[in-house]
Structure 1
Amino acid sequence: MPSAPTKLYADDVSLLVVLLDTNPFFWSTSSLPFSKFLSHVLSFLNSILLLNQINQIVVIATGCNSCDYIYDSSLSTNPGIENGKLPALCSELLKKLEDFVTRDEQLNKQQSQSLPPTTTSSLLSGSLSMALCYIQRVFRSGPLHPHPRILCVQGSSDGPEQYVAIMNSIFSAQRSMVPIDSCYIGSNNSAFLQQASYITGGVYQKPQQLDGLFQYLSTVFATDLHSRTFLQLPKSVGVDFRASCFCHKKTIDMGYICSVCLSIFCKHHKKCSTCGSVFGQAQTDVASASNLKRKTPES
């Protein structure tokens, strides 16, 4: 009996875009080995595919200097289970992930030869942009599509220099009604991911026991958007809404905001470095100087 086309895109069908942090600076100091981390993630991705045969998974690797697609279940030639193995999910993902880590490491060495490394954060803004671009292609592919959501599995600290790009991605996801879930495995909380999950209606979770990472992923982040209305999922508490200044890329509690372009600065400036607007006292000084020049010839 043929199934109805509408059942292919039911309420419980999900498009999950997973952003994996592959930053070597973080994993070299983490108590959880990267190989064990991958085993937890692969088990989680397998469970998503087992929940519904038409669920779709896209994995994006996030490095220090680049990000790239490393797995797409819709393009996989053999996404199912054969003889108790998962050849497509494991072999394809691990092979592309290895190639990506090698390319990102080479790019990091090339940049470090010309300029000293200034940050050890991951390129989260780039992977978020790639995830949203992929979701927009799905939206425009036809009237029927799975319900998309983004899951950030992040361990690196926030990069203040990415503040503007990340906030633009967050507001774009909010406008498209795409929730951003966050599983942060670093030592401290991530202000960027806290804001992303809070603004877009996603879930922010910081596992207390990294050895049980699969349990956190499967119980909190495996649920589809329709089922979440019936579940009591963790809620964000104590979200850090502090912004980063545009001048020094530092997180600040109080600062100065340009009334034209809304750029944030930690110190007072005479002129906005973003849009070129002249600020209050500077405008008064310029007006006084121009008036003085007009009066000088008359005197």
Structure 2
Amino acid sequence: MTTSAPSKNYADDVSLLVVTLDTNPFFWSSFPFHFSEFLSQVLAFLNSILLLGQLNQVVVIATGCNSCSYVYDSASDKNHASTNGTMPAIYSNLLHNLDEFVAKDQQLTTPHHKPGTIPSSLLSGALSMALCYIQRAFRSGPMHPQPRILCLQGSTDGPEQYVAIMNAIFSAQRSVVPVDSCFIGSNNSAFLQQASYITGGIYYRPPQMEGLFQYLSTVFATDLHSREFLRLPKSLGVDFRASCFCHKQTIDMGYVCSVCLSIFCEHHDKCSTCSSVFGQTQSEAASEENRKRKAC
């Protein structure tokens, strides 16, 4: 009589991979690589993650121009079996949910954007949703998979999302959650470079989209424990430029509020965030405030 193998506890080689998938139709309509080909290689990569370990978990968050949504969770009961008998659930359920998300996101799309420009995707919302899911995993018990976030992004950075993205980055750093970035656009992403650098993740821009699956499987498939023994690619440089709080534009030099650290591209007499007065001493600011109160 053979005894069953003991149940394996979660260890450092068990992964919870939360993937943010850029579905921006404005980007994909102008990109030479078709979205269907990109998605087929991503699905093969996600399937390989599940095959690497029985306890591995994959969560996919679709990122649009106006919204974000969970489109796949391997821990869900309805994803444990095929839904139509012809393809695995990771393909059928994910594709079905992705089609519904793209249709809803296009309905929310407003035509009020500059002609010739590509609106950015809602990366800040996708990162927030990924961190919320990971926090639920943390609270589920002391034994849980090692979480990490993989951003599959192609759209350009949205300076108006700078504050929200930086808050998500620092939250991931505090929770010890690496943010890996696979940027497929023509130019590098300053936001994702900072996210991977601050959280200890990997930032990589594949030189050829035809071999995307190879890049994903060799660079981003390794668990956090195995990365200590591998020589993975490192970013040659990180763009640390910030976005101003007044015009939401990326700047090289600016003015910083000494109280709340808000950044402005132009000099202001008063901080729009915390209402601190610039160019005056505290005594002068206090006396002016007292005069205003007496006048009232």
TM-score (structure 2 length as normaliser): 0.91
Contact 1:79 1:86 in 2 (8 A): no
Kept in 2, the 8 Å contact 1:121–1:157? The answer is yes
Report if the CA contact (8 A) 2:73-2:79 is conserved. Answer: no
1:117 aligns with 2:118: no
User: Residues of 2 paired with 1:281 and 1:138: CA distance?
Assistant: 49
Q: Give, in whole Å, the separation in 2 of the partners of 1:63 and 1:290.
A: 46
| Shift of residue 10, structure 1, vs aligned partner | 2.0
Q: For 1:8, what is the secondary structure of its paired residue?
A: coil
For 2:64, the equivalent position in structure 1 comes to 63
**2:33 aligns to what?**
32
Find out whether 1:171 has 2:170 as its counterpart. Answer: yes
Contact 1:182–1:203 under 8 Å retained in 2: yes
The count of corresponding residues between Structure 1 and Structure 2 is: 286
Letter in 1 for 2:256: I
Q: How does 1:20-99 map to 2 (within 5 A)?
A: 20-79=21-80, 86-99=87-100
- Normalising by structure 1, we get a TM-score of 0.90
For residue 96 of structure 2, give the secondary structure of its aligned residue in structure 1: helix
> Take 1:100 and 1:290, find their aligned partners in 2: how far apart are those partners?
51
In 2, Cα distance between the equivalents of 1:155 and 1:251? 18
Distance 1:281 1:267 in 2: 17
- Amino acid in the other structure paired with 1:125: S
Q: Deviations over 1:11-30 (max 9, x none)?
A: 21100000000001100111
TM-fit CA distance, 1:290: 9.1
The structural deviation recorded for 1:233 is 0.4
Superposed displacement of residue 81, structure 1: 8.0
Amino acid at match of 2:72: Y
Q: Would the aligned equivalents of 2:82 and 2:92 in 1 still touch at CA under 8 Å? A: no
Segments of 5+ residues of structure 2 without an aligned counterpart are 292-296
Residues 14-65 of structure 1: CA distance to partner in whole angstroms, max 9, x if unpaired? 0000000000110011111000000000000010011001110000000000
Deviation at 1:237, TM superposition (A): 1.4
Give the letter aligned to residue 69 of structure 1. Answer: Y
Residue 80 of structure 1, CA deviation: 6.1
1:262 equivalent in alignment to 2:257: no
What residue identity is the alignment partner of 1:262? Answer: L
Per-residue CA deviation, residues 109-168 of structure 1 (Å, 9 max, x unaligned), is: xx43xxx23670000000000000000000001111000000000000000000000000
Q: What is aligned with 1:220? A: 219
Q: Which residue of 1 aligns with 2:154?
A: 155
State the SS of the aligned residue for 1:280.
coil
In structure 2, the partner of 1:280 is: 279
Q: Is the 8 A contact 2:13 2:223 kept in 1?
A: yes
User: What CA distance in whole angstroms lies between the structure 2 residues aligned with 1:226 and 1:85?
Assistant: 36
Cα distance in 2 for residues equivalent to 1:123 and 1:103 = 14
Identity of aligned residues (%): 72
The separation in 1 between residues aligned to 2:74 and 2:98, in whole angstroms, is 15
Aligned-partner Cα distance in 2 for 1:151–1:291? 53
Q: Matched residues in 2 for 1:69 and 1:290: separation? A: 49
State the distance in 2 between where 1:73 and 1:144 align.
18
- How many Å separate the matches in 1 of 2:274 and 2:88? 52
In 2, are the aligned partners of 1:80 and 1:86 still within 8 Å (CA)?
no
In structure 2, the CA distance between the partners of 1:48 and 1:85, relative to structure 1 (3 Å rule), is farther
Aligned residue number for residue 237 of structure 1: 236
- Residue type at the aligned position of 2:23: T
